[in-house]
Amino acid sequence: MAPIAIGLLAYLIGSVSFAVVTSRAFGLPDPRTYGSRNPGATNVLRTGKKLAAALTLLGDAAKGGVAVALAAAVAPRLGLGEEWVAAAGLSVFIGHLYPVFLRFRGGKGVATALGVLLALDSWLGASVLGTWIAVALIGRISSLAAISAAALAPVYSVYFLGTGWATLAVLVMALLLIWRHRANIRNLLTGQEARIGAGGKAAGPAGSARQ
C-alpha cells in the first residue's frame, strides 16, 4: 500500500493547478478560457499580470520538487528503493498534465518537469534550464525552447544519473512533454508559432496566442 500511497499523493499534488489558483487570487479570468486555454504560466502572462505568471511558474515548479523530495525522504524509511522516488516524479508530472481537479485537462508540464529534475539532481535541472534559456534567447520561441530542453533531458540524465529508474522517468516525461506540444510543433513547421513578447493580453476565447 505504501508505494501506491506515494504515487497517489504525488499525483494529487501535481493536480493542483497554480495557474487557476493564482488567477482566482488575483481576480483574473480562468486561464482555460482565453489564449491557448492552457493552465500554465505562459498563458497567465497574457493577462499582463507578471506577478501572477511568476507565482504560477514558481508554484508549478515547486510542486514537482516537493513531491520528489517527500518521496526521497519517506521511501528509505519504508524500505522502498529509488524507483519509487522516480515514480513520484513521474506521477506529479502526470498529475499536472491530467489533473483530477480540472477534469484531466491540465498544462503542458514545463515548470513541473523542471521542478522534478532539479529535485532529482541539481546539475540535471540546471542543464535543462540552461538549454531552455539558450534556445529561448536565440529563437525567441517559448515552445521551441521547451521542446529542445525536453529532447536533451534524457541525454543529460544519462550523464548525471546513469541509466537507472530516474532516467527512465525523465525519458517518459520528455516524451509526454513533447507530445503535449504537438500543436506547437505543427505551428513551428508552418512558421506560425508566436514569438516571446509578440502576444497581446488575454482578450477572451478568441485570443490568438498558440503556445
DSSP the chain: -HHHHHHHHHHHHHT--HHHHHHHHTTPPPGGGSTT---SHHHHHTTT-HHHHHHHHHHHHHHHHHHHHHHHHHGGGGT--HHHHHHHHHHHHHHHHS-GGGTT-----HHHHHHHHHHH-HHHHHHHHHHHHHHHHHH--HHHHHHHHHHHHHHHHHHHH-SSHHHHHHHHHHHHHHHHTHHHHHHHHTT-PPPTTT-----STT-----
* pLDDT recorded at residue 199: 53
Q: How confident is the model at residue 51 (pLDDT cuts 50, 70, 90)?
A: very high
Domain count across the chain: 1
73 inside domain? yes
| Res 194: pLDDT | 84
In a domain, 211, yes or no: no
Quote the pTM value.
Answer: 0.91
Is 204 within the bounds of a domain? no
pLDDT value for 93: 98
In a domain, 70, yes or no: yes
Supply the Cα-derived Rg of the chain in whole angstroms. 17
- Residue 39 belongs to a domain: yes
> Is residue 199 domain-resident?
no
Percent of the chain predicted with pLDDT > 90 = 86
Mean pLDDT of 102-110: 95
159: in domain:
yes
Structural domain containing residue 95: 2-189
In a domain, 140, yes or no: yes
